[in-house]
């Protein structure tokens, strides 16, 4: 059985939501991954190549409602033949989880109910700050930074996860 949100993925069983290295055991040896930087107003989306070596920016989704947001994310995953999703988890600097992390976990659980793709949570501490510094260092205008920062944060998150997966 399929859902309109997941034209290519059966929903016999909800996807697992796990830390990255636990989710790695559920991933096939090859296949693209989708990386997400979840914000309150936007979702930055990145995708890897099938060999999982390099992350690239895809788009920034302006959040409207969960159903529409999930449909777009899963459409992007299907278009790229993704075998899993990496979702940045905003952990506090002291390692604790605050309201943003709880909100991200809730989003992951709700998304998991709509797809069979494993969802891996990856520590995203300082990802947006690191990306902002990088974009400033290349003298990108404030307007242009605002347009791409979420995509670049998703790339930063996904590339970190790809590098960790490559180390085993």
Q: Is 102 left (phi over 0), alpha (psi -120 to 50) or beta?
A: alpha
CATH classification of the domain holding 113:
3.30.420.140
Q: Which domain holds residue 96?
A: 43-167
Tens-digit pLDDT profile for residues 135-156: 677 776 777 666 677 888 899 9
**Does residue 32 lie in a domain region?**
no
- Is the pLDDT reported for residue 24 higher than 60? yes
CB-based burial of residue 23 (10 Å sphere; 0-12 exposed, 13-18 middle, 19+ buried)? buried
- Is the pLDDT reported for residue 13 higher than 90? no
- Is the pLDDT reported for residue 63 higher than 80? yes
CB-based burial of residue 165 (10 Å sphere; 0-12 exposed, 13-18 middle, 19+ buried)? buried
**Does residue 34 lie in a domain region?**
no
**Nearest-angstrom CA–CA distance, 61 and 45:** 8
Categorize the per-residue pLDDT at 124 as very low, low, confident or very high, splitting at 50, 70 and 90: confident
- Is the pLDDT reported for residue 3 higher than 60? no
For the segment 90-95, the average pLDDT, to the nearest whole number, is 87
- Is the pLDDT reported for residue 164 higher than 70? yes
The token pair that represents 74 in the structure block? 């899963």
pTM of the predicted structure, to 2 decimals: 0.85
**Does residue 63 lie in a domain region?**
yes
Total domains in the chain come to 1
**Does residue 59 lie in a domain region?**
yes
pLDDT score of 134: 73
**Does residue 143 lie in a domain region?**
yes
- Is the pLDDT reported for residue 5 higher than 70? no
For the segment 126-130, the average pLDDT, to the nearest whole number, is 65
**Does residue 70 lie in a domain region?**
yes
């Amino acid at each position: 059985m399929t859902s309109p949100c997941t034209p290519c993925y059966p929903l016999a069983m909800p996807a697992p939501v796990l830390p990255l290295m636990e989710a790695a055991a559920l991933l096939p040896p090859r296949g693209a991954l989708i990386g997400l930087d979840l914000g309150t107003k936007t979702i930055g989306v990145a995708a890897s190549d099938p060999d999982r070596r390099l992350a690239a920016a895809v788009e920034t989704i302006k959040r409207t409602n969960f159903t529409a947001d999930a449909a777009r994310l899963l459409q992007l995953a299907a278009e790229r033949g993704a075998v899993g999703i990496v979702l940045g988890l905003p952990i506090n600097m002291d390692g604790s989880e605050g309201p943003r992390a709880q909100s991200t976990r809730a989003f992951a659980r709700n998304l998991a109910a709509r797809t069979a793709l494993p969802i891996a949570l990856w520590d995203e501490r300082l990802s947006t700050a690191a990306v902002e510094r990088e974009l400033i260092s290349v003298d990108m205008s404030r307007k242009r930074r605002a347009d791409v920062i979420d995509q670049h944060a998703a790339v930063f998150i996904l590339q970190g996860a790809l590098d960790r997966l490559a180390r085993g």
